[in-house]
Structures are given as structure tokens and as C-alpha cells.
Amino acid sequence: MTKPILEIKNLSVDFVLHDRKLRACDDVSLTINRGEIVGIIGESGSGKTTLASGILNLIKAPGRIAAGEVIYHTREGKSVDLRKLKEDEFAKYRWTNLTSVFQAAQNVLNPSLRVKEHFLETVRAHDPKAKESDVLTKARELLSQVRLEERVLDCYPHQLSGGMKQRTIIALSLILNPDIIFLDEPTTALDVITQWYIIDILKKIQKEFGLTMVFLTHDVSIIGSVVDRLAVMYAGQVVEFGPVMDLFKRPTHPYTAGLMNAIPSLRDDVTHRKAIPGHPPDLMALPDACRFSPRCAHFASGVCAGDRAKTDMLYASRPEQLTRCYSWEKVFKP
């Protein structure tokens, strides 16, 4: 039984610099179901981080949300448009319902507070009367879930390694029993072995707490083993969305296909790998054509005309797959 937990409808985020407008997110629509893990893949300029910031109401000037709704369906069945909330109303939802974990390099931890004080502060911001012993018991539990020892509670952030900080932030984000957790490049700055463990921990936690996870990254290799459904973003738009295995094995957008083909791994046939030619477009000077067309081999060979108007919507390519490529039938084998 799939019930939606978050419905993003036509979200657009603009940045205004010196009277020129840059649309970082263009008319993005996604539905995330309760209990699933959704991945969002995108490279630089794709708009995925802006999307996460937009959902969590973290966009600051000169950026602003130009249009769209973000409807959150709570456990109790209420539906709230997060866009319409004022900052202090939204703050109530942050940490209790929606939490976020960003890249380890971005230090969310206050360097002058011990870890246990972080937990206490976070809980007390929402429930001033919470008892210290209760909070710390829960904190200890969570730390053991992320394979950290109790002694970490008494440490300052600078005494922890990158991997330990990341695990602490994950535990911290769970202290108020959130519904949905956003992870933006949670393992990018970490070593391969640490990365493996953190992904393992995230999967276990997700199962145990029935969390909904939104996993944003540019790393194609890890996302395959973690997520249920995957959204691929390019130049501010969602270009493909569907079950992750289908996207891997039978992509229906040239960018998705190109991406899968461009990553060298340990066991593949090295001679088959090919980079996607060209580079991401300048969002302030978009061509009046399909945004991917300058780099698309099918556009270059004339199979597709790259008509911009036709790329303003998504098409159902397979039973549960959506693509922005209107020529997908010509380009991809059924």
C-alpha cells in the first residue's frame, strides 16, 4: 500500500543576480511514497541541492521560490502545504518530521558544544520540558545504531573523524522520530570503507524505523544499491524518474543512458566506457531547444529535432517510468 508522504508540484526556484534571473529548479514535480527510498541523481548545475533546500525552506536571498507547492502528508493523515508556512511554523516540522543530513564537510555541528549538548539542545528546542536522562538514553541508543561508542557523547566535534561526525549527525537527525530524512551527498567526502559502513547503517535504520529517505548524490555507483526509485536531474529539470533497476537496465533518456555508461568501475569492460561530450549548459543562457540536445548523439544524428516545447512535460515510457525525452521510442529499444 503506497501512500504518498511528500508531493512536490511544479516547484521552481530562482536566483536573481544583478537583474539577471537564473532558474535553478524548473517546474519540478515528484511524488515520494511513505517508507520508500528515493534517489535524486544530478551533477553540477542539475538543481538537486536547490530542490532539497527548497523543500526544507532553506532558500535564502538572492534565491527565492518562484512557484509550486510542497504538500506533506503527516502520519495522522493531515496535509500541509509547506510552502505556505511561515518560518516559525515550519520550524516545528523541522527535526520532528523532516530532517536533513548534509555532506560531512559542511559542519552542522557547533564546535563549542559537546555531542550530548547537541542532542539536548535539539530536543529542548521542540520540547522545553524534556528530561535530560530520557534524551541521553535515547541518544545512546541511536549512537549504538550508528556504531558509535557512548563516549562520543562527551566529545567535541573536532575530536571526531569525518566518518564519526557524519554518523553523529545521522543519529542526531533521528532523535525526534522524524518521518522523512533528506541526505545530500552524505558520503561524498568520506573514504570508501567508511562509505560502505554508512550506507549499510542507513539501510538498516531505514528498515528498522520505517523511515522515508530522499538520497541526493552525483555518485551513480552507490545509489544503485540503496534506493527504490530514482529521479535523474539535468539543468534544473527532472529528466527521468522510475524504479532504479529499470533506469539502469532500460533507461529511456539519453542523459541517463550516458551517465550509466560514463562511470568506470572495477569489473566492467573498460573499452565500453564513454564520457558524455560537451558540458552542462549555462542556466542563464539556455538554448531554445531541449536542454540536453547540445550533448545528445541522437540530436546530432538527426533522429530527434530537440524541440523545446515538447520537452516541457514528462512522458510515461514504461509502466512506472517517466521521461522527458519525447523521442524515447525512436531512440531506445522497447
Partner 1 sequence: MSLMELKDVSVTFDAEQRKGQKVRALVGLNLKIEPGEIVAVVGESGCGKTTLGKVLVDIYQPTEGQALYNGKDLRSLTKEEYRKYRLGVQMIHQDSYAALNPNRTIFQSLSLPLLQHKLVKNKDEAWGLLSELFEEIGLNPARLFLEKYPHQLSGGQRQRILLARALSVRPSLIVADEPVSMVDVSLRISLLDLMARANKKYGISFVYITHDLGTARYIAQHGRIAVMYLGRMVELNQIQAALDKPAHPYFHALIAAVPEADPTLRGGKIAQLPLKSFDMPSVINAPPGCKFHPRCPYANERCGTEEPKLREFRGGLVACHLVETI
Q: How far is the CB of 114 from partner 1 (least distance, A)?
A: 18
CB 153 within 8 A of CB 136: yes
Residue 126 found at the interface with partner 1 (CB under 8 A): no
Among 90, 156, 209, 248, the residue binding partner 1 under the rule CB under 8 A is: 248
**Residue among 86 and 267 whose Cβ is closer to partner 1:** 267
**Residue among 197 and 209 whose Cβ is closer to partner 1:** 197
48-107: contacts with partner 1 (CB under 8 A): none
Cα-Cα-Cα-Cα torsion 260, 239, 293, 23, nearest 10 degrees, comes to: -120
Point out which span in 74-82, 162-170, 305-313, 325-333 binds partner 1 (CB under 8 A).
Answer: 162-170
Residue type, 165: K
**Residue among 45 and 306 whose Cβ is closer to partner 1:** 45
Cell of 293: 540536445
Number of residues counted as binding partner 1 (CB under 8 A): 44
Residue 161 found at the interface with partner 1 (CB under 8 A): yes
- Listed residue (79, 80, 49, 55) closest to 68, CA to CA: 55
Point out which span in 12-20, 157-165, 178-186, 207-215 binds partner 1 (CB under 8 A).
Answer: 157-165
Residue type, 21: K
Q: How far is the CB of 128 from partner 1 (least distance, A)?
A: 36
- Listed residue (178, 175, 168) closest to 120, CA to CA: 175
Strands, DSSP E only, in the chain? 4-17, 20-33, 37-41, 63-73, 79-81, 98-101, 180-184, 212-217, 229-234, 237-243, 315-318, 321-323
Among 154, 279, 309, 313, the residue binding partner 1 under the rule CB under 8 A is: 279
Q: Which residues of 84-123 are buried (b: 16+ CB within 10 A; e: fewer)?
A: ebeeeebeebbbbbbbbbbbbeeebbeeeebbbebbbebb
Strand pairing of 63-73 and 79-81?
Answer: antiparallel
Distance (Å, rounded) from C-alpha 94 to C-alpha 20? 32
**Residue among 70 and 325 whose Cβ is closer to partner 1:** 325
Residue 300 found at the interface with partner 1 (CB under 8 A): no
Point out which span in 21-29, 104-112, 114-122, 241-249 binds partner 1 (CB under 8 A).
Answer: 241-249
Residue 260 found at the interface with partner 1 (CB under 8 A): yes
Among 77, 264, 302, 334, the residue binding partner 1 under the rule CB under 8 A is: 264
Among 16, 105, 262, 305, the residue binding partner 1 under the rule CB under 8 A is: 262
Binding mask 187-216 for partner 1 (x = CB under 8 A): ----xxxxxxx-x-----------------
Is residue 4 reached through a cis peptide bond, with omega within 30 degrees of 0 on the bond before it?
no
Q: Which residues lie across from 184 on neighbouring strands?
A: 216
Summarize as ranges the residues that interact with partner 1 (CB under 8 A).
Answer: 43-44, 147, 161-164, 191-197, 199, 218-225, 245, 248-249, 258-260, 262-268, 270, 273-277, 279-280
